[in-house]
């Protein structure tokens, strides 16, 4: 339990990034059903700017 940060450096669409990171973290037992994940990103992704988007997802 708690908060852990992960760096992700692929530049795909926002939806692909969310799906890819959830899959990666579930495969490594960092996420379980019923837990939440928060994605923080810059939009658009290719701009590589400061974070301006937060997405909360329940697994």
Position 7 in a domain:
no
Rounded Cα distance between 56 and 40, Å, is 9
pTM: 0.74
Residue 8 lies in a domain: no
* Residue 25 resides in a domain: yes
pLDDT digits (tens, 9 = 90+) for 6-54: 888 877 777 888 899 999 999 999 999 999 999 888 877 666 678 888 9
27 burial (CB, 10 Å; 0-12 / 13-18 / 19+) is exposed
How many structural domains is the chain composed of?
Answer: 1
Whether residue 52 lies inside any domain: the answer is yes
User: Domain span at residue 49?
Assistant: 14-58
Asked if the structure places residue 49 within a domain, the reply is yes
Is 4 part of any domain? no
């Amino acid at each position: 339990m708690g908060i852990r940060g992960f760096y992700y450096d692929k530049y795909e669409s926002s939806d692909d990034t969310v799906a890819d990171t959830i899959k990666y973290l579930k495969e490594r037992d960092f996420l379980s059903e019923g837990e939440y994940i928060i994605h923080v990103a810059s939009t658009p992704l290719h701009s590589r700017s400061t974070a301006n988007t937060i997405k909360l997802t329940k697994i």
